[in-house]
Chains A and B, each alone.
Chain A
Amino acid sequence: MSKSDPDAPKRLALIASKGTLDFAYPPFILATAAAAMGWEVAIFFTFYGLPLLQHDLTATVTPMGNPAMPMKMPFGPESFQNFSWPIPTAVMSMPGFNSVATGLMKKTFKNKGVATIEELRDMCIDLDVELIGCQMTMDVFGFKKEDFIESANIGGAATFLAYAADADVSLFV
Chain B
Amino acid sequence: MNSEAGDQHIIPAPDKVLDCSGLLGPLPVIETSKAIKQVEIGQVLQLITTDPGSPLDMVAWSQLTGNDLLDSRQEAGKFIFYFQRMG
Identify the A interface with B (CB < 8 A): 10, 29-30, 32-33, 36-38, 112-115, 123
Contacts and interface: CB of A to CB of B under 8 A. Distances in A.
Interface string B10-27: 000000000000111111
B64 A36 contact: no
Given A37-B33, A114-B24, A115-B27, 17 more contacts: A29-B25, A29-B26, A30-B26, A32-B26, A32-B30, A33-B25, A33-B29, A36-B29, A36-B30, A37-B61, A38-B65, A112-B24, A113-B22, A113-B24, A113-B27, A113-B51, A115-B26
Interface in B38-64: 51, 61, 64
A114 B20 CA distance: 12
A36 B23 contact: no
Interface in B46-87: 51, 61, 64-65
A32 B23 CA distance: 15
Contacts of B34: 36
7 contacts: A29-B25, A29-B26, A33-B26, A37-B29, A37-B61, A113-B22, A113-B24
